[in-house]
């Protein structure tokens, strides 16, 4: 008997490569949002770029670690057994 996650759910274990690509794509969106919001608030490109860089260095690492930890947690995942 093989335990397997149902293929129609997104609650399957992720590969390291998928986590990295997902992290990068998320960060691109956040970079754009950070720059836009800070630029609109301050009107200064240098301030917006500086905030965008600093903020995204530590939050990218935090997001990646957060995703990898949550992938290991079984709570909330539906596991279907194949007979």
52-77 pLDDT, tens digit each: 999 888 888 898 899 889 888 888 87
Taking the model in full, what pTM does it have? 0.56
pLDDT of 11-65, one tens digit each?
Answer: 567 788 988 898 889 889 989 999 999 999 999 999 999 999 998 888 888 988 9
Region label for 35, one of left (φ > 0), alpha (ψ between -120 and 50) or beta (otherwise)? alpha
* Residue 22 CB burial class (10 angstroms; 0-12, 13-18, ≥19): middle
């Amino acid at each position: 008997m093989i335990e397997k996650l149902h293929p129609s759910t997104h609650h399957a274990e992720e590969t390291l490569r998928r986590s990295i690509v997902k992290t990068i794509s998320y960060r691109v969106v956040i970079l754009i949002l950070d720059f836009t919001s800070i630029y609109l608030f301050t009107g200064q490109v240098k301030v917006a770029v500086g905030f965008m860089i600093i903020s995204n260095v530590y939050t990218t690492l935090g997001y990646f670690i957060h995703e990898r930890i949550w992938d290991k947690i079984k709570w909330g995942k539906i596991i279907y057994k194949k007979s």
